[in-house]
Amino acid sequence: MTEFAEPHRRGRLKIFLGYAAGVGKTYQMLDEAQKLKHQGIDVVVGYFEPHGRQDTIAKAEGLEFVPRRTITYRASTFEETDVEAILQRRPQVCAIDEFAHTNVPGSERAKRWEDVQVLLDAGIDVLTTMNVQHLESLNDQVWQFTGIRVRETIPDWVVKQADEVVMVDLPPQALLNRLKRGAIYSRDKARLAAEKFFQESNLVALRELAMRQTAHEVEVRLGAPDETDRPAEDADDRPSPAIAPASDRILIFITDDPSTAALIRRGRRVADYLKADCFAVFIHPQIDLQGLPRAQREAIERHLNFARNLHVETRVLQGENVAQALVNFARLHRITQIYLARPRQSSWPRLLGRNLLGQVVRLARDMQVTIVADRRRGQPPQG
Amino acid sequence: MVKHGVERPDPDKLLRQVLAEERYQARGRLKVFLGYAGGVGKSFRMLDEGRRRKQRGEDVVVGAIQPTVSAEVAALLQKMEVIPPLTVDSVPVMNVEAILSRYPQVCLVDGLAYDNPPGSRHRKRWEDVEELLSAGISVVATVNLQYIDEQRERVEEITGKHVEHTVPQTFLSNADEIEVVDAPPEMCRQRSADAPLQHGAAAEDVVGGQEQKLSALREIALLLAADVVDQQLEAYLERQGIEQLWGTQERILVFVTPEVDARAMIASGRRNADRFHGELLVAYLAEPDLTADEKAALEISLTEARAAHAHIEALDGEDEVDTVLQFARSRGITQIFVANRRRDDWRERIFGGLLERLILTAENMDVRVFPQ
């Protein structure tokens, strides 16, 4: 019975990370595919978007392509990765462009990264590409400095799962030159040149973000020594500072307020950097959510779902006194930081929020309370 | 906030700007490929760029190559014009004079960190490059992280290897363009296994096989590049008159006051800044009428801040909250750490005092309240 049972091996995931269209992610992915093929490894291309770029098209030459699947949606046809066909073909390695892509409705899975999970589960190694701005936890920051709300996002844990993240770098000036020469997006370069992402300050900022993110990914895989909040090494005999937990544990307080999404992203991001456990709670006077107005209930459910998608453990608690229930839960679970959204200005729930915030700060005498700001748009760059 | 151009331009300043601009236009452009170890493919990327520029009609020569090159690089070299090096004391030295008289638009220099033998035109190769740039020749060069002077100590801790020849980090941060050559460690191992044996003291040293070490170096190189890019971003924003409001880097500000034991906040601030590879700042209000006890208490916090290598800033201002927030905004702070003070003053004891005002007015930054 064990005769054919190989130990199950999950496929390895390698991500080529860039900061804008045209930096050369696809080119590098194909270059790697070519090298692997040259080494005798069975490689196919599962999806590749040439955008009419000659260098990239030339790089794909000689590689085997798995034909795409055609899907008809609202009388138009779309082409998507054919996961079934790749599984049947069973290559060792599959190159799939644009990790953050959203599949057309009617596809088996909503997101391409979910398609990739299926391939990885089947033991196929995957090479893929993405830009740093597609990372879920950076969504607010990217919006803050570019004014662009990126819609196609990838949860951070998916990227964290990758065995390797490689930065594909190109100085912004060189990228802008490429754009001018028409090497990128020859068809609609005029439109793109005007696009906000291609303003130099945005490119510089995104590039820095990509470098820092890649450094972080390298560090996570390096398994840096786990330091924790320690009392200062200090010879004087004042009592140790109050906080010296074994490790950080973050608790996000969920409400129906739209700022909750940004709060969850921020809490998740900080937790990742601090290697902290991350939880989220919604507290309600009744046992179940049915008593709430529909819009409110849906917002809460959306936020809880969003948190779960980011691998944040969620709970719905019952409690008459919300602040007290929150702090009690935090204490019980050895939480070191409670994350709350800043009450918004000039709206009546603000008073309520202020009261709650005040109560939490007063009650949480043994833990930190972080009030997360609504990230607002910075001054847009000139020109 | 955009600085408005309402004030009259200063003619001397304008003249200085014009001269600086002229000098800048007359100079060649410097582009540096930064790698974290030998074998990541810096030389190839540099030569490939040279080849592409040549195809586009630029006049490109190779001024210096590594003593040993991979087959891939050798193939590219075939297509390029190489200015042969001088040989001084059997050491190859870039022939600056020949390059100057040949006067190409672009000169490729593989490896910046070489000391020239005594009696050479310059002591260091990067000084040779400086001369080419001043003469109006653009340079595309490569450098390995371990040869950046300011990084040498950290790198040596990881590799256990000492390098003699270095390039100052300012040379890198003043480059017009820096490009990271990133590759996972296994690639370096493969490539260096393919490459012929390395020799010569200055030959780019292939760091030993341990993936851990290579990853550590890789992280340092990426963060170094990010810092260089951050400086470029700041310079760009300044030129455009845009106040920094970005969140590309985490900047943590710990606000200390005499009645607060800030050691936990500073320790946590340091650790958070390290984890994010961000900056740590500690600020306090410079109040002239502190008691001796208050001064002593504040000094304990500041000693802690100095030990944590924080930037320390004494702030001047009437209103505590406004002063701190104004400072925070000017520095692009992303997180403020404050203590929840419990003075025996009833107004302070109840949330609704300064802390509340700080929380409600701190736009674009998180406020982390520490218990006391």
CATH assignment of the domain containing A280: 3.40.50.620
Q: Are the CB atoms for A150 and A139 separated by under 8 Å?
A: yes
Alpha carbon distance B146, A87 (integer Å): 44
Residue A180 falls inside a structural domain: yes
Q: Which of B240, B267, B290 is the endpoint of a domain?
A: B240
Residue carrying structure tokens 């917002």:
A299
Residue B1 falls inside a structural domain: no
Q: Are residues B256 and B216 in the same domain?
A: no
Alpha carbon distance A79, A72 (integer Å): 9
Q: Looking at the predicted structure, is the pLDDT value of residue A244 above 80?
A: no
Residue carrying structure tokens 């990739």:
A116
A156's tokens: 């951070």
Q: Looking at the predicted structure, is the pLDDT value of residue A236 above 70?
A: no
Alpha carbon distance A122, A90 (integer Å): 9
Number of domains making up chain A:
2
Alpha carbon distance B178, A116 (integer Å): 33
Q: State the best of B248, B249, B331 to mutate against chain A, taking most chain A CBs within 10 Å.
A: B248
**Structural domain boundaries, residue A361:** 249-372
Answer yes or no: do A212 and B236 touch at CB < 8 A: no
Q: Is A208 on the interface with B (CB under 8 A)?
A: yes
Residue B352 falls inside a structural domain: yes
Q: What is the pLDDT of residues B69-91, one digit of tens each?
A: 888 899 999 999 999 999 888 88
Judged by average pLDDT, the poorest of A19-23, A24-28, B182-186, B358-362 is: B182-186
Q: Is A27 on the interface with B (CB under 8 A)?
A: no
Q: Are residues B302 and B165 in the same domain?
A: no
Residue A383 falls inside a structural domain: no
Q: Are residues B118 and B263 in the same domain?
A: no
* Nearest C-alpha in B relative to A269: B276
Q: What is the pLDDT of residues A279-297, one digit of tens each?
A: 999 998 776 777 888 999 9
Once rounded to an integer, what is the mean pLDDT over residues A222-236? Answer: 46
Q: Are residues B255 and B228 in the same domain?
A: no
> Which of left, alpha, beta for B242 (phi over 0: left; psi -120 to 50: alpha)?
beta
What is the number of alpha carbons within 13 Å of residue A327 lying toward its C-beta?
17
Answer yes or no: do A141 and B248 touch at CB < 8 A: yes
Q: What is the pLDDT of residue B21?
A: 78
Q: Are residues B161 and B272 in the same domain?
A: no
Q: What is the pLDDT of residue B230?
A: 84
Q: Are residues A144 and A288 in the same domain?
A: no
Q: Are the CB atoms for A371 and A357 separated by under 8 Å?
A: yes
Once rounded to an integer, what is the mean pLDDT over residues A38-55? Answer: 88
The single-letter code of the amino acid at B10 is D
Q: Are residues B186 and B316 in the same domain?
A: no
Q: Looking at the predicted structure, is the pLDDT value of residue A178 above 60?
A: yes
Which domain CATH number covers A128? 3.40.50.300
Q: What is the pLDDT of residue B201?
A: 33
Q: What is the pLDDT of residue B349?
A: 45
Q: Are residues B100 and B52 in the same domain?
A: yes
Q: Looking at the predicted structure, is the pLDDT value of residue A155 above 60?
A: yes
Closest partner residue to B183 (CB to CB) among A166, A230, A379 is A166
Q: State the best of A211, A336, A346 to mutate against chain B, taking most chain B CBs within 10 Å.
A: A211
Q: What is the pLDDT of residue B203?
A: 34
The single-letter code of the amino acid at B370 is F
Q: What is the pLDDT of residues A334-358, one digit of tens each?
A: 999 999 998 775 544 555 566 788 8
Q: Which of A174, A206, A221 is the endpoint of a domain?
A: A221
Q: What is the pLDDT of residue A270?
A: 93
Q: Are residues B260 and B334 in the same domain?
A: yes
Residue A249 in 3-state DSSP?
Answer: strand
Q: Are residues A173 and A62 in the same domain?
A: yes
Give me the residues paired with residue B107 across strands: B61, B139
Residue carrying structure tokens 């009261």:
A355
Of residues B163 and A52, more confidence is placed in B163
| Per-position DSSP letters for A291-317, written without gaps between them | GS-HHHHHHHHHHHHHHHHTT-EEEEE
Residue B4 falls inside a structural domain: no
Q: Which of B218, B240, B262 is the endpoint of a domain?
A: B240
* DSSP at A11: P
Residues of chain B with Cβ-Cβ distance to A356 below 8 Å are none
Q: Are residues A205 and A259 in the same domain?
A: no
Q: Are residues B197 and B84 in the same domain?
A: yes
Q: Are residues B199 and B335 in the same domain?
A: no
Residues of chain A with Cβ-Cβ distance to B364 below 8 Å are 144, 373-376, 378
Residue A7 falls inside a structural domain: no
**Mean confidence (pLDDT) of chain A:** 84
Q: Are residues A208 and A152 in the same domain?
A: yes
Q: What is the pLDDT of residue A323?
A: 92
Residues of chain A with Cβ-Cβ distance to B246 below 8 Å are 144-145, 205, 378
Q: Are strands B366-370 and A249-253 parallel, antiparallel or unpaired?
A: unpaired
Residue A170 falls inside a structural domain: yes
Q: Are residues A182 and A327 in the same domain?
A: no
Residues of chain B with Cβ-Cβ distance to A367 below 8 Å are 371
What are the φ/ψ torsions at residue B80 (nearest 5 degrees)?
-115, 155
The secondary element (H helix, E strand) that includes residue B138 is strand B138-144
Answer yes or no: do A379 and B212 touch at CB < 8 A: no
Of residues B23 and A260, more confidence is placed in A260
Answer yes or no: do A201 and B212 touch at CB < 8 A: no
Residue B215 falls inside a structural domain: yes
Closest partner residue to B232 (CB to CB) among A204, A266, A273 is A204
| Per-position DSSP letters for B258-273, written without gaps between them | TTS--HHHHHHHHHHH
Alpha carbon distance B43, B65 (integer Å): 8
Answer yes or no: do B364 and A174 touch at CB < 8 A: no
Q: Looking at the predicted structure, is the pLDDT value of residue A302 above 80?
A: yes
Q: Is A173 on the interface with B (CB under 8 A)?
A: yes
Query: Which residues does B164 contact at the CB level (< 8 Å), separation at least 6?
Result: B115, B201, B202
Residues of chain B with Cβ-Cβ distance to A372 below 8 Å are 366
Number of domains making up chain B:
2
Q: Is A237 on the interface with B (CB under 8 A)?
A: no
Q: Cβ-count burial of B139 within 10 angstroms (0-12 exposed, 13-18 middle, 19+ buried)?
A: buried
**Structural domain boundaries, residue B70:** 21-240
Q: Are residues A185 and A292 in the same domain?
A: no
Give chain B's residues under pLDDT 70.
1-9, 186-210, 241-247, 342-352
Q: Are residues B296 and B353 in the same domain?
A: yes
Q: What is the pLDDT of residue B346?
A: 41
Task: Name the band, by pLDDT with cuts 50, 70 and 90, for residue A376.
Answer: low
Which domain CATH number covers B48? 3.40.50.300
Q: Are residues A258 and A208 in the same domain?
A: no
CB contacts < 8 A, A to B, total 199
Residue A363 falls inside a structural domain: yes
B151's tokens: 């990084």
Q: Are residues B301 and B331 in the same domain?
A: yes
Q: Looking at the predicted structure, is the pLDDT value of residue A90 above 90?
A: yes
**Pick from B351, B191, B175: which is nearest to A323 by CA?**
B351
Which domain CATH number covers B323? 3.40.50.620
Q: What is the pLDDT of residue B289?
A: 86
CA dihedral A80, A84, A87, A88 (to 10 degrees): -120
Q: Are residues A93 and A182 in the same domain?
A: yes
Residue B351 in 3-state DSSP?
Answer: coil
Closest partner residue to B267 (CB to CB) among A215, A229, A354 is A229
Judged by average pLDDT, the poorest of A123-137, A158-172, B77-91, B345-359 is: B345-359
